Amino acid sequence: MALDNSDIKRIAHLARIEISDAEADKTLTKLAGILTLIEQMQAVDTTGITPMSHSQDVVQRLRDDVVTATNQRETFQANASAVAGGLYLVPKVIE
Amino acid sequence: MINQSLKNLSQLLASKTVSSVEMTQTFLDRIRQYNPDINAYITVDEDKSLAQAKAADASIAAGTATALTGIPLAQKDIFCANGWKTTCGSKMLANFIAPYDAHVITQFNNVGAVNLGKTNMDEFAMGSSNETSYFGGVKNPWDLTRVPGGSSGGSAAAVAARLCAAATGTDTGGSIRQPASLCGFTGLKPTYGLVSRYGMIAFASSLDQAGPMAKSAEDCALMMNVMAGFDARDSTSLNHPKEDYTAQLNQPLAGLKVGLPKEYFAEGLDGDVAKVIEAAIAEYKKLGAEFVDISLPNANLSIPVYYVLAPAEASSNLSRYDGVRYGHRAAEYDDLMEMYMKSRAEGFGEEVKRRILIGTYVLSAGYYDAYYLKAQKIRHLIAEDFKAAFKQCDIIMGPTVPSTAFKTGEKTGDPIAMYLQDIYTIATNLAGLPGMSVPAGFSHDLPVGLQIIGNYFDEARMLNVAHAYQQVTDWHTAMPKGIA
């Protein structure tokens, strides 16, 4: 599928990355080449092939529902750009 | 001292010929001398390193030391290390102080190894030249006008220039092996799931795997003894019995069956690199190895499959950087959406954004089956190719990279040319198999790496195969000119 500038802006919005018109143009050229490369996959017949996500035949482990971590709120929040009273601050979202 | 094996360094410490503080200081002095030119380290904290060295000396004096106690190592800046700035090569995390240790860091701390600092890397491990780092490119110690490879380029340059005794790296599509080839040392990407990903900043979770980068196979084996092991905190960690990776090092190679995939010797391979690999094969024949021709018919699809799976997983993993809990936040914004969009636009570099966009596209509504699912199916076919190949041979060999280190800036404008650096390494990540790069000679004074691919959990045999070669050749002991 051929992409155009508006597709790039739509994808960038989905990815929550601000992009200018000039950047979208530049990105379009580079992405087009990569998507052409990816299209090579379509020539392969994969009927009946199961998708693979892990090389070993493993299943998700379960563990007992017990507390394993200690409260380290202050340590973790030291990396945040805006906190108050143990909460993360963001622009107002609810009117 | 700087060119000594880990075993010898450990003996120097055990015999109290040198203290860990002295050894650590030697490497810290070298970092001060060479790092301004090479840019291998992003963060060095001499006080922290020396405090660890002092503790190691106490442990040695008390007789509780093990193989790597007091040995100064470099850690790729993708591993969270408690209290250390951990940037992943990105502006997004330029001020991030890790609040906990990655499993790999804990393992090295537990044996009393010394952390010399955090090494430079391509931003979020996305790159093959270290040029996408927010903290600037790394120079190849063999030729400062060339790249060290990537994404573990800082660790690679640090090992090559002897700015550490050994280092850690991570390999999603070749990020340990390609820089090992370009910088002339030994690097191992273990079987997927053998080394825990806990605290290792995620790029493509189904492919990311940590491993050692060191001067020799024996050094890599000693590192693996510390790094490998089950960890319940990584949901894909494998409960594989603990092994001693040094145990098989001295096994004879007579009768070893080595497969040569015809696809790895086809068009695109540099003629001089091919000659080096052929000479290595001849050396292995003298050691008693037998060679068989094999085929990996779907190998040519590795790059297309990888550039669906890795960006898709990256776009998902990197959605956590929202400027709220950690990471860069834009200075000005009117509402929450704008805060997200600006923070991410400012915090991520060009290549990272490009991969997030590809990933977002292939995962967007209506495309999942055509891209991600299709890629996972072909991934299965690639794994089946290897399974069939390992019925014919014990080990697979070929070049690690089609060429030697390229000039800085040579491929930055052309992402696809850059992606082709990993053409021989990506398939093993997709299959989850272990792969190594071993120094095999030079082409125009630049190092060439021989790739060794093993079956699942066959790291001990691969290390044995590499070690045997390193007993009869000295490519791995060569040091870059100008580094003394």
**ipTM, 2 dp:** 0.95
Distance between first and last Cα of chain B: 11
Give contacts of B99 with chain A, Cβ < 8 Å. Answer: 72, 75-76, 78-79
**Residue B9 burial by CB count (10 A; 0-12/13-18/19+): exposed, middle or buried?**
buried
Backbone angle region of A88, left / alpha / beta, with phi > 0 → left and psi within -120 to 50 → alpha = beta
Q: Where are the alpha helices (DSSP H) in B17-133?
A: 20-38, 46-61, 103-110
Q: Where are the alpha helices (DSSP H) in B62-216?
A: 103-110, 153-160, 177-183
Amino acid letter at B76?
A: K
Interface test with B, best of A4, A10, A13, A17 (most B CBs within 10 A): A17
For residue B319, give the chain A residue with the closest CA: A15
Query: Is the Cβ pair B354, A31 closer than 8 Å?
Result: yes
Query: Would you say B219 and B6 are in contact if contact means Cβ atoms under 8 Å apart?
Result: yes
At residue A57, the pLDDT reads 78
Interface test with A, best of B357, B369, B372 (most A CBs within 10 A): B357
Residue A60 reports pLDDT greater than 90: no
Instruction: Select which of B49, B76, B181, B237 is catalytic.
Output: B76
At residue A54, the pLDDT reads 84
Strands B72-76, B114-119: pairing is: parallel
At residue A56, the pLDDT reads 83
Q: Where are the alpha helices (DSSP H) in B39-162?
A: 46-61, 103-110, 153-160
pLDDT, tens digit only, all 484 positions of chain B? 999 999 999 999 999 999 999 999 999 999 999 999 999 999 999 999 999 999 999 999 999 999 999 999 999 999 999 999 999 999 999 999 999 999 999 999 999 999 999 999 999 999 999 999 999 999 999 999 999 999 999 999 999 999 999 999 999 999 999 999 999 999 999 999 999 999 999 999 999 999 999 999 999 999 999 999 999 999 999 999 999 999 999 999 999 999 999 999 998 999 999 999 999 999 999 999 999 999 999 999 999 999 999 999 999 999 999 999 999 999 999 999 999 999 999 999 999 999 999 999 999 999 999 999 999 999 999 999 999 999 999 999 999 999 999 999 999 989 889 999 999 999 999 999 999 999 999 999 999 999 999 999 999 999 999 999 999 999 999 999 888 7
Query: Is the Cβ pair A35, B358 closer than 8 Å?
Result: yes
Query: Would you say B421 and B174 are in contact if contact means Cβ atoms under 8 Å apart?
Result: yes
Beta bridge mates, B443: B446
**What contacts 24+ positions apart, CB below 8 Å, involve B227-232?**
B227/B104, B227/B107, B227/B108, B227/B168, B227/B190, B227/B195, B228/B190, B228/B194, B228/B195, B228/B459, B229/B107, B229/B195, B229/B196, B230/B196, B231/B103, B231/B196, B231/B198, B232/A61, B232/A63
Instruction: Select which of B20, B175, B237, B302 is catalytic.
Output: B175
DSSP A5: H
The CATH architecture assigned to A5-42 reads: Orthogonal Bundle (1.10)
B368/B354 Cα distance (integer angstroms): 18
Exposure class string for B147-175: b at 16+ Cβ within 10 A, else e: bbbbbbbbbbbbbbbbbbbbbbbbbbbbb
How many other CB atoms are there within 10 angstroms of residue A78's CB atom? 12
B40/B130 Cα distance (integer angstroms): 10
B466/B470 Cα distance (integer angstroms): 6
Host H or E run for residue B399: strand B395-399
Query: What band does A1 get if pLDDT is binned at 50, 70 and 90?
Result: low
Q: Tell me which residues of chain B, numbers 257 to 276, contact chain A at a CB-CB cutoff of 8 Å.
A: none
How many other CB atoms are there within 10 angstroms of residue A61's CB atom? 10
Query: What band does A55 get if pLDDT is binned at 50, 70 and 90?
Result: confident
Q: Tell me which residues of chain A, numbers 43 to 62, contact chain B at a CB-CB cutoff of 8 Å.
A: 44, 46, 49-56, 58, 60-61
Q: All domains of chain B, ordered by start, with CATH? A: 6-256+473-477 (3.90.1300.10)
Query: Would you say B122 and B79 are in contact if contact means Cβ atoms under 8 Å apart?
Result: no
B117/B356 Cα distance (integer angstroms): 29
The C-alpha torsion from A35 through A37 and A40 to A46, rounded to 10°, is: -70
Q: Tell me which residues of chain B, numbers 4 to 63, contact chain A at a CB-CB cutoff of 8 Å.
A: none
Query: Would you say B169 and B214 are in contact if contact means Cβ atoms under 8 Å apart?
Result: no
- CA distances in angstroms from B426 to B176, B241, B334, B383, B457, listed in the order given: 11, 27, 43, 12, 18
Query: Would you say B187 and B166 are in contact if contact means Cβ atoms under 8 Å apart?
Result: no
- Residue B155 annotated as catalytic: no
At residue A61, the pLDDT reads 87
**Residue A87 burial by CB count (10 A; 0-12/13-18/19+): exposed, middle or buried?**
exposed
Q: Which two tokens stand for residue B325?
A: 């809990």
A92/B17 Cα distance (integer angstroms): 63
Q: What are the phi and psi torsion angles at B163 (to 5°)?
A: -95, 15
